[in-house]
Amino acid sequence: MSEKTNEFLKNRLSEEDYRKLLAIDKPEMHEFVADYIELCNPDGIFVATDSPDDIRYVREAAIRNGEEDRLTIREHTIHFDGYYDQARDKARTKFLVRSGVDLGPNLNTIDKEKGEREIREILKDIMSGHELYVRFFCLGPVNSEFSIPCVQLTDSAYVAHSEDLLYRRGYEEFKHRGRSARFFKFVHSAGELDERMVSKNIDKRRIYIDCEGAIVYSVNTQYGGNTIGLKKPAMRLAIHRAQKEGWLNEHMLVVAVHGPNNRKTFFTGAFPSLCGKTSTAMIPEESIVGDDISYIRKRGDKAYAVNVEAGIFGIIMGINSKDDPITWEALHSPNEIIFSNVLVTEDKGVYWIGKDGKMPRKGINHSGEWTPGKRDAEGNEITPSHKNARFTTALKDLKNADPRLHDPDGVELSGVIYGGRDSDTCVPVLEAFDWTHGIITKGASLESETTAATLGKEGVRKFNPMSNLDFLSVPIGKYIDMNLKFGSSMKKPPRIFGVNYFLKDEGGNFTNEKTDKKVWLKWMELRVHDEVGAIKTPTGYIPRYEDLKKLFREVLNKDYSRDDYVKQFTIRVPENLAKIDRIKKIYETTVANTPPVLFEVLKGERERLVKAREKYGDYITPDRWEGER
Ligand code: SPV
Ligand code: MN
Contact 75, 62 (CB under 8 A): no
Same domain, yes or no: 173 and 118? yes
CA distance 629 to 625: 6
| Ligand 2 mean position, distance from CA 536 (Å) | 33
Residue 223 annotated in ligand binding = yes
Condensed to tens digits (0 to 9), the pLDDT of residues 545-565 reads: 999 999 999 999 999 999 999
Same domain, yes or no: 329 and 450? no
152 located within any domain: yes
Same domain, yes or no: 425 and 527? yes
Per the prediction, the chain carries an average pLDDT of 96
CA distance 145 to 167: 16
What pLDDT shows up at residue 8? 98
Same domain, yes or no: 34 and 14? yes
Condensed to tens digits (0 to 9), the pLDDT of residues 319-376 reads: 999 989 999 999 999 999 999 999 999 999 999 999 999 999 999 999 999 999 999 9
Which atom of ligand 1 has the smallest separation from the CA of 467? 3
- Looking up residue 204, the CATH number of its domain turns out to be 3.40.449.10
75 located within any domain: no
**At which of 245, 262, 290 does a domain end?**
245
Condensed to tens digits (0 to 9), the pLDDT of residues 107-145 reads: 999 999 999 999 999 999 999 999 999 999 999 999 999
The residue whose CA is least distant from atom 8 of ligand 1 is: 225
Please spell the DSSP secondary structure of 444-501, one letter per residue: TT-EEE--TTSSS-TT-EEE-GGG-GGG--S-HHHHHHHHHHHHHTSSSPPEEEEE-T
Q: Is the per-residue pLDDT at 459 higher than 60?
A: yes
CA dihedral 333, 253, 87, 441 (to 10 degrees): -150
- Looking up residue 338, the CATH number of its domain turns out to be 2.170.8.10
Instruction: State residue 262 phi and psi, 5-degree precision.
Output: 60, 20
* 275 part of the active site: yes
Our answer on whether the CB atom of 224 is closer than 6 Å to any ligand 1 atom is yes
Same domain, yes or no: 325 and 288? no
Contact 348, 71 (CB under 8 A): yes
Same domain, yes or no: 427 and 476? yes
Which residues surround the ion ligand 2 when the cut-off is CB under 5 Å?
A: 292
| Ligand 1 mean position, distance from CA 399 (Å) | 23
Residue 88 annotated in ligand binding = yes
Give the mean pLDDT of 455-468: 86
The residue whose CA is least distant from atom 3 of ligand 1 is: 273
What pLDDT shows up at residue 1? 85
Contacts of residue 506, Cβ cutoff 8 Å, sequence gap at least 6: none
Residue 305 annotated in ligand binding = no
> What pTM value is reported for the model?
0.97
Residue 224 annotated in ligand binding = yes
Condensed to tens digits (0 to 9), the pLDDT of residues 471-517 reads: 999 999 999 999 999 999 999 999 999 999 999 999 999 999 999 99
Our answer on whether the CB atom of 351 is closer than 6 Å to any ligand 1 atom is no
Our answer on whether the CB atom of 355 is closer than 6 Å to any ligand 1 atom is no
- Looking up residue 455, the CATH number of its domain turns out to be 3.90.228.20
- Rounded to whole angstroms, what are the CA distances from 532 to 255, 523, 619? 20, 8, 25
Give the mean pLDDT of 586-604: 96
pLDDT band at 452 (very low <50, low <70, confident <90, very high): low
Our answer on whether the CB atom of 236 is closer than 6 Å to any ligand 1 atom is no
Same domain, yes or no: 427 and 287? yes
**At which of 397, 423, 449 does a domain end?**
397
Residues 267, 534, 448: CA angle, nearest 5 degrees? 50
Q: Is the per-residue pLDDT at 443 higher than 80?
A: yes
pLDDT band at 626 (very low <50, low <70, confident <90, very high): confident
The residue whose CA is least distant from atom 1 of ligand 1 is: 273
pLDDT band at 458 (very low <50, low <70, confident <90, very high): confident
Same domain, yes or no: 48 and 95? yes
83 located within any domain: no
Give the mean pLDDT of 66-85: 97
Give the mean pLDDT of 432-456: 88
Instruction: State residue 173 phi and psi, 5-degree precision.
Output: -60, -45
Condensed to tens digits (0 to 9), the pLDDT of residues 219-273 reads: 999 999 999 999 999 999 999 999 999 999 999 999 999 999 999 999 999 999 8
pLDDT band at 450 (very low <50, low <70, confident <90, very high): confident
Burial of 123 (0-12, 13-18, 19+ CB in 10 A): buried
Same domain, yes or no: 321 and 279? no
CA quadruple 616, 617, 618, 623: dihedral positive or negative? negative
Domains of the chain: total: 3
| Ligand 1 mean position, distance from CA 556 (Å) | 31
CA distance 86 to 88: 7
C-alpha of 206 from chain center: 20
Q: Is the per-residue pLDDT at 566 higher than 80?
A: yes
Contact 230, 163 (CB under 8 A): yes
496 located within any domain: yes
The residue whose CA is least distant from atom 7 of ligand 1 is: 225
Catalytic residue, chosen from 138, 150, 275, 426, is 275
528 located within any domain: yes
Q: Is the per-residue pLDDT at 627 higher than 70?
A: no
Our answer on whether the CB atom of 387 is closer than 6 Å to any ligand 1 atom is no
Same domain, yes or no: 589 and 501? yes
Our answer on whether the CB atom of 188 is closer than 6 Å to any ligand 1 atom is no
Q: What is the DSSP letter of 360?
A: P
Question: Probe ligand 1: pick from 93, 216, 232, 446, max atoms within 8 Å of CB?
Answer: 232
82 located within any domain: no
Residue 108 annotated in ligand binding = no
What pLDDT shows up at residue 454? 58
Same domain, yes or no: 334 and 254? no
Our answer on whether the CB atom of 291 is closer than 6 Å to any ligand 1 atom is no
Residue 201 annotated in ligand binding = no
Q: Is the per-residue pLDDT at 453 higher than 80?
A: no
CA distance 92 to 90: 6
Orientation of helix 596-616 relative to helix 573-589, angle to 10°: 160
CA distance 271 to 252: 7
Do β-strands 461-463 and 168-169 pair in parallel, antiparallel, or remain unpaired?
Answer: unpaired
Amino acid at 272: P
Our answer on whether the CB atom of 415 is closer than 6 Å to any ligand 1 atom is no
Q: Is the per-residue pLDDT at 629 higher than 70?
A: no
**At which of 397, 426, 460 does a domain end?**
397
What pLDDT shows up at residue 403? 98
The residue whose CA is least distant from atom 9 of ligand 1 is: 225
Contacts of residue 204, Cβ cutoff 8 Å, sequence gap at least 6: 122, 191, 219, 220
558 located within any domain: yes
Q: For residue 424, what are the domain limits?
A: 249-309+405-624
Same domain, yes or no: 364 and 431? no
Which atom of ligand 1 has the smallest separation from the CA of 292? 6
What pLDDT shows up at residue 344? 98
- Rounded to whole angstroms, what are the CA distances from 406 to 44, 139, 310, 415, 465? 34, 11, 8, 20, 28
What pLDDT shows up at residue 211? 98
73 located within any domain: no
